[in-house]
Every structure is written in structure tokens, then in C-alpha cells.
């Protein structure tokens, strides 16, 4: 489902060129749970941005469901993100002073769905992500970290995306909450979602079935966990 | 789609009430102050023009020139150069003169019973009514007989009546004291309007002969008012008066004339230029408030950029197209500026009407151009600074926008 060939990303800052990704190639099949692990500056975030259709590689090819993503324009990328990818961010990125439900509905705006459908799906996803029913009308800034991440998970699920990309989803959470969030992701994987997790913590990475180790812009090791 | 846009806009604005409120307030103040100040300026201009027109129609005024003592000018009107004979000569020798009203004027304290007031006393002839468009409300003006006998009779203006006898009292038959002499009131004039120093209703008319005997003690006049027969003959009549008076006063060089001639149009032009300056002053104040309002709007719009850039990044990340993000922010800016503009126009309007209501002599006039200007500037500033940063943010990659500090 995901196929990367010789992905290279070079950042230019004036005269200085930084190679963030250097000839990275790998494939991820449908239903996998992959952790991409590496120290900071290893290029894992850059890889995640490319996989999430948020950024284009300098060279190389990225196929998502047999479509070459690196050739799409801004609007096509938006459509792709909307239909195929759900994001979970380290800093949650919820709309401030906005109800839980509105936050979850956000990706459905400007699509051909009725507000009833949207509400129904949002509630379904929130329950699925383990959010308590009585918090649905709370404002996003009244929630705890764990609750915010659940809202973010529900938001990632609402378009029923092929891939869920989680960028350090436990980075701002304590150990206990991290565990709950990771178990929730595992649960989603069991239900058939493809999950790609970016992290620098081995404990977190171990929830996955496969770990790609990345260092200095290259894949160091790609191993399955049995 | 458009329902979503509409809902998002309303939700975003109502979700940030303080932000929206302050932005609207900036717009409201800018627009309301421009409209109100320009309306007051225009109103002042109109009311002064109206006052001047009320002085009389086709009026030419001759005033004495400046008296010179050892080469030092004592100021216009100080010279004793105009006489009754001059007035008679103007009336008899110049064509197209309808009426001539010589006048002796003096400010004096007058009393009636226990009340007193300081007012303008004008000694003049019956022709004054024609020259200055004065009409009698009750009683009558002086007769020729009273003029000949220097009778101690007076006609008063309505403001003077109010001051001395109270509102709506009938002053005819009452007695007032001027300069320790009793005058009997024989009439009252109709109100002409005007205010303050130029109040043509705060006035006491007495016969010219009486004024000469008891007030001035000499034969000189303070001014001569001449009514030309029509507008077209004003210029020629004015020239002829000038020539006649120069000849009578034996002055060969017009530059040395011991009198000034002004016609109503000159007065109007002078006053208009004064009120024009006044309007410019008010307009600049209004302009500054508009600028300050504009900076306020700009400030509000720009300070929210950080938070909103992240919001834009998020919207893009979850797959909302750039066009919808742009449209939403444009719609927000438009709604804010139009709402603020609308309230501002209403508030400016109410302010203008309130001023008219409380200051009876000033009828403010709201000009369309001030509304358009104020609204245009605020809307422009609001839309540009509301939309432009958002547009820029929407063009960033979602990652850059999400990380924006």
C-alpha cells in the first residue's frame, strides 16, 4: 500500500545543505503497525511529513495506493490527506476553545455529509477512541492530556483513513496515559487500520509489530517483532 | 459547502467574542467619529450661511474706516466719518437703491423692573425693516412722527423680551430703562435666529434721532445698510456708493477711503471660508480617529495571526482545501468590518441627531461621502489585514504553519 523508492530530502538554509533523508526505500503493507524510531535529527519527522503528504521529497518516489504522491499539487494533497490519512500529533493540535465534537468533525467540513451524519460519526469515533460520553460538549482546553489525545485519535479516525500517522503521540503524556493511548492504537490496528508511529522511545516503539530504525537520514535496521 | 463556510465563520467569530468585539469596536469608533464630526462641520457651515442670509437680502453695508491717530490705526469702524447726510445722498443720488437705513449702534445695559440685560441698541429709521428683513410680531415700528420728535420709544427682539419679561410675555406698553431714561416699548420683532454674539433677536431698536440725542451725542453713524433693488445691481450700486462717498468726503485716492463697503456675498464668502477651515479641522480630527481605528483593527487582526496560523495549519493537515480556508478568513473579515461599519454608521447618525437635538442652532447634516469614505477605509483595512495574513498562512505547508511561533 505504501511504497517508497530512494526518498531523499535536502533542506537548504542559505548556502548550507542539510540532508535529512538519504535514499530511503521501504514498503508498508495494509494492516501493518510500524514504528519508525530514531534519535532527534535522524530524519524520522521528515519521513513522517512525506508519508503524511504534508511535504514533498527532493527526489525519489512515494506511492500511496498506487498513486504517486510526490507529483500532486497542493489541492490534490489536501484531498489525499482528507481521504487516506489520519494524523495524531505530539501537541494534540486541537482547535482552542472549541467543543470536543466540533474538533472531531473538523475534517468533514466542506464534504458532502449532512450535519447529522457528521455528528453520528463523530460520536462513534469518540466512543471508539475511549472518550467518555459526558465530555463530548466540553471545550478542548478543559481536557486533560490523555483526553485531548483521545479526541485527536477520534479526529484521525473520522474519515475512516487507510493510514493513521502518529507523530510522537505520547511525547506530552505521562507513562500511564501513554500506555492507554498506545493500547488504543494497538486496538485500532487489530481492527484493520494501518498505523505508522514515529517515536524516539523504545518502550513506545515496542507496541508495534515492525520497527524501522533510522539514523542520519538512512534506514539502519528494519525488523519484525514476533 | 457554503453552509459550512457560513457556519464556520459565525462559529469562529462568536467563539472569540473579545477578539471580534474589539475589532468591531475599532471599526465602529473610526466610522462613527468621522460621520459625526463631518456632519457637525457641515451643519455649522450651513447654519452660519443661514444666519448671514437672515441679515437681509441684497444688502450692502457701509462701515466707517479705521481712525488714524498719528499714523496708528485704531481699528476698522472706529472712525467718525459717516453722517446722515451721506445716507440721504446715497438714497437720493444712486439708482437701484431700494432703501437706506443709517444706524447708530451701541451695547448697553438695560433694565426693566428688576431684570436687566446687556444688549445691542440700534438707533435707526423705519427703512431698517426693509434693509435687514426684519418683521414686526406685535405692536408697530416707529412712526415718522416719533422719529421727528425723538420720542423715547423702543422695539425689542424676542430674546431681549425673554430676558427682561420672561418667555411669551407681551412686552408692548411696558417700560425699559436705557441710560437712566425710560423708553416705552411699542413693538416686538419676529425671531430671526442666530446665536451668541451675532444674535439678531437680542436687540433693542430706538429711533435714530433719539439715539443721536441721548446715546451718541453727535451726528455720526456706525453703519449704513443699503438694500439694492435686485441681486444683479449689487456690484454697480456698491461701486456708485463708493464713488459718491469718496467725492463727498473729498478723498481722491480710494486706498485712503475712510469707510469700508461690504456686501452680503463678501460676508458670506468670508464666513464660508472660516467654516470651511473649521470643517477641515474637524475632518482632520475625524481622519485621525479613522487612522487610529484602522491601526486598532490592524492590531487585532495581526495579533491573532500566531494562533490562527496554527489553526490554518491544522485545517490544511486534516485536508481542508486552501480555497475554503481563504474564503473563511475573507468571510470573517468581511462580516467583522460590515457589522462594525453598520453599527458605526448608525452610531454616527445618532450622534449627529443628538447634537442637533441639544444644540438647536446647529442642524447637523450627514454627508454620503463621509459615510462612504469612513466605511471604505475601515473595510479596506479590516479586509486586507484580516485576509492577507491568513492567505499567506494558507500558502505555507501545513507543517510550517503548525509550527508557527
* Span B177-186, pLDDT tens digits: 998 889 999 9
Please check whether residue A55 lies inside any domain of the structure.
no
What length does chain B have? 405
How high is the pLDDT of residue A125? Answer: 92
- pTM recorded for the entire structure: 0.70
Please check whether residue A161 lies inside any domain of the structure.
yes
Q: What is the β-pairing status of strands B223-228 and B59-64?
A: antiparallel
Q: What is the domain-level CATH number for residue A188? A: 3.40.50.300
Give the domain range for residue A132. Answer: 31-49+85-224
Mutant choice from B319, B321, B325, B396 vs A, greatest count of A C-beta within 10 A = B319
How high is the pLDDT of residue B254? Answer: 84
Residue range B331-377, pLDDT digits in tens: 888 888 899 999 999 999 999 999 988 887 788 888 888 889 888 88
Residues of A in contact with B4 (CB under 8 A): 109-110
Residue range A195-217, pLDDT digits in tens: 999 999 999 999 999 999 999 99
* Residue contact A107–B310, C-beta within 8 A: no
Q: Which residue of A has its CA nearest to B3?
A: A110
> Residue A112: which residues within 8 A CB-CB, separation 6 or more?
none
* Residue contact A109–B320, C-beta within 8 A: yes
Please check whether residue A180 lies inside any domain of the structure.
yes
Q: What is the mean pLDDT of chain B?
A: 85
Given a cut of 70, is residue B250 above it in pLDDT?
yes
Given a cut of 80, is residue B52 above it in pLDDT?
no
Residue range A122-154, pLDDT digits in tens: 999 999 888 889 999 999 888 988 899 999 999
* Residue contact B322–A80, C-beta within 8 A: no
Residues of A in contact with B317 (CB under 8 A): 52, 54, 81, 87, 93
Cα of A80 to nearest chain B Cα, Å? 7
Q: Which of B143, B132, B173, B179 is nearest to B156 (CA)?
A: B173
- B220 DSSP 8-state letter: B
Tell me the C-alpha distance between A97 and A135, whole Å. 14
Query: Which burial class, exposed, middle or buried, applies to B22 when counting CB atoms under 10 A from its CB (0-12, 13-18, 19+)?
Result: middle
Please check whether residue A114 lies inside any domain of the structure.
yes
Residue range B102-141, pLDDT digits in tens: 999 888 899 988 888 899 999 999 889 888 888 898 889 9
* Residue contact A82–B319, C-beta within 8 A: yes
For the record, the C-alpha cell of B80 comes out as 467718525
* Residue contact B1–A87, C-beta within 8 A: no
Domains identified in chain A, total number = 1
Cα of A209 to nearest chain B Cα, Å? 26
Cβ atoms of A51 and A39 within 8 Å: the answer is no
Tell me the C-alpha distance between A182 and A180, whole Å. 5
- Print burial letters for B130-159: b (CB count within 10 Å at least 16), e (below 16): bbbbbeeeebebbeeebbeebbbbbbbbbb
For the record, the C-alpha cell of A8 comes out as 531523499
Cα of B10 to nearest chain A Cα, Å? 13
- 3-class DSSP assignment, residue B402: helix
Tell me the C-alpha distance between A23 and A4, whole Å. 9
What DSSP string describes B80-92? Answer: ---BHHHHHHHHH
Tell me the C-alpha distance between B256 and B276, whole Å. 32
Tell me the C-alpha distance between B357 and B362, whole Å. 9
> In this complex, how many residue pairs, one in chain A and one in chain B, have their CB atoms less than 8 Å apart?
63
Predicted complex ipTM: 0.90
How high is the pLDDT of residue B360? Answer: 76
Please check whether residue A192 lies inside any domain of the structure.
yes
Neighbours of B227 (CB within 10 A): 24
Amino acid at each position: 500500500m505504501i511504497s517508497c523508492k530512494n526518498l531523499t530530502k535536502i533542506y537548504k538554509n542559505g548556502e548550507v545543505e542539510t540532508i535529512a533523508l538519504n535514499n530511503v526505500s521501504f514498503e508498508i503493507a495494509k494492516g501493518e503497525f510500524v514504528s519508525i524510531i530514531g534519535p532527534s535529527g535522524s530524519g524520522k519527522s521528515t519521513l513522517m511529513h512525506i508519508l503524511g503528504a504534508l511535504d514533498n521529497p527532493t527526489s525519489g518516489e512515494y506511492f500511496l495506493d498506487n498513486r504517486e504522491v510526490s507529483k500532486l499539487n497542493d489541492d490534490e494533497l489536501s484531498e489525499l490527506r482528507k481521504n487516506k490519512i489520519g494524523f495524531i500529533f505530539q501537541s494534540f493540535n486541537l482547535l482552542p476553545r472549541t467543543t470536543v465534537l466540533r474538533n472531531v468533525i473538523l475534517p468533514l467540513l466542506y464534504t458532502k455529509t449532512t450535519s447529522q451524519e457528521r455528528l453520528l460519526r463523530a460520536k462513534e469515533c469518540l466512543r471508539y477512541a475511549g472518550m467518555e460520553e459526558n465530555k463530548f460538549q466540553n471545550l478542548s482546553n478543559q481536557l486533560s492530556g490523555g483526553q485531548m489525545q483521545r479526541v485527536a485519535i477520534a479526529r484521525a479516525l473520522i474519515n475512516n483513513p487507510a493510514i493513521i500517522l502518529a507523530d510522537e503521540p505520547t511525547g506530552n503524556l505521562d507513562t500511564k496515559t501513554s500506555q492507554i493511548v498506545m493500547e488504543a492504537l494497538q486496538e485500532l490496528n487489530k481492527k484493520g487500520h494501518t498505523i505508522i508511529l514515529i517515536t524516539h522511545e523504545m518502550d513506545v516503539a515496542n507496541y508495534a509489530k515492525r520497527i524501522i530504525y533510522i539514523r542520519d537520514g538512512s534506514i539502519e535496521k528494519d525488523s519484525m517483532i514476533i | 459547502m457554503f453552509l459550512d463556510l457560513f457556519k464556520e465563520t459565525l462559529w469562529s467569530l462568536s467563539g472569540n467574542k473579545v477578539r471580534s468585539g474589539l475589532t468591531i469596536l475599532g471599526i465602529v469608533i473610526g466610522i462613527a467619529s468621522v460621520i459625526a464630526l463631518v456632519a457637525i462641520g457641515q451643519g455649522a457651515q450651513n447654519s452660519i450661511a443661514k444666519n448671514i442670509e437672515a441679515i437681509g437680502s441684497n444688502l450692502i453695508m457701509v462701515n466707517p474706516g479705521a481712525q488714524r491717530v498719528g499714523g496708528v490705526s485704531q481699528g476698522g469702524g472706529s472712525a467718525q466719518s459717516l453722517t446722515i447726510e451721506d445716507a440721504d445722498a446715497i438714497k437720493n443720488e444712486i439708482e437701484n437703491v431700494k432703501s437706506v437705513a443709517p444706524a447708530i449702534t451701541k451695547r448697553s445695559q438695560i433694565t426693566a423692573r428688576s431684570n436687566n440685560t446687556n444688549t445691542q441698541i440700534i438707533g435707526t429709521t423705519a427703512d431698517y425693516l426693509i434693509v435687514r428683513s426684519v418683521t414686526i410680531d406685535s405692536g408697530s415700528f416707529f412712526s415718522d412722527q416719533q422719529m421727528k420728535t425723538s420720542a423715547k420709544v423702543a422695539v425689542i427682539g424676542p430674546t431681549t423680551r425673554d430676558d427682561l419679561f420672561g418667555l411669551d410675555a407681551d412686552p408692548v406698553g411696558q417700560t425699559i430703562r436705557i441710560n437712566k431714561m425710560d423708553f416705552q416699548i411699542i413693538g416686538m420683532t419676529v425671531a430671526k435666529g442666530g446665536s451668541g454674539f451675532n444674535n439678531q433677536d437680542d436687540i433693542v431698536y430706538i429711533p435714530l434721532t433719539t439715539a443721536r440725542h441721548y446715546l451718541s451725542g453727535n451726528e455720526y453713524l456706525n453703519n449704513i445698510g443699503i438694500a439694492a433693488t435686485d441681486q444683479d445691481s449689487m456690484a454697480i450700486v456698491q461701486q456708485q456708493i463708493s464713488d459718491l462717498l469718496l467725492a463727498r468726503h473729498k478723498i481722491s485716492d480710494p486706498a485712503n477711503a475712510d469707510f469700508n463697503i461690504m456686501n452680503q456675498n463678501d460676508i458670506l464668502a468670508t464666513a464660508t471660508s472660516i467654516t470651511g477651515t473649521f470643517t477641515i479641522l474637524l475632518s482632520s480630527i475625524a481622519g485621525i480617529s479613522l487612522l487610529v481605528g484602522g491601526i486598532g483593527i490592524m492590531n487585532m487582526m495581526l495579533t491573532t495571526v500566531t494562533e490562527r496560523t496554527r489553526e490554518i495549519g491544522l485545517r490544511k493537515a486534516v485536508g481542508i482545501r486552501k480555497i475554503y480556508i481563504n474564503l473563511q478568513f475573507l468571510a470573517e473579515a468581511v462580516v467583522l468590518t460590515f457589522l462594525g461599519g453598520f453599527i458605526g454608521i448608525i452610531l454616527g447618525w445618532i450622534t449627529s441627531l443628538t447634537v442637533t437635538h441639544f444644540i438647536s442652532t446647529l442642524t447637523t447634516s450627514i454627508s454620503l461621502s463621509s459615510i462612504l469614505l469612513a466605511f471604505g477605509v475601515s473595510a479596506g483595512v479590516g479586509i486586507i489585514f484580516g485576509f492577507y495574513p491568513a492567505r499567506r498562512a494558507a500558502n505555507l505547508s501545513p507543517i510550517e504553519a503548525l509550527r508557527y511561533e
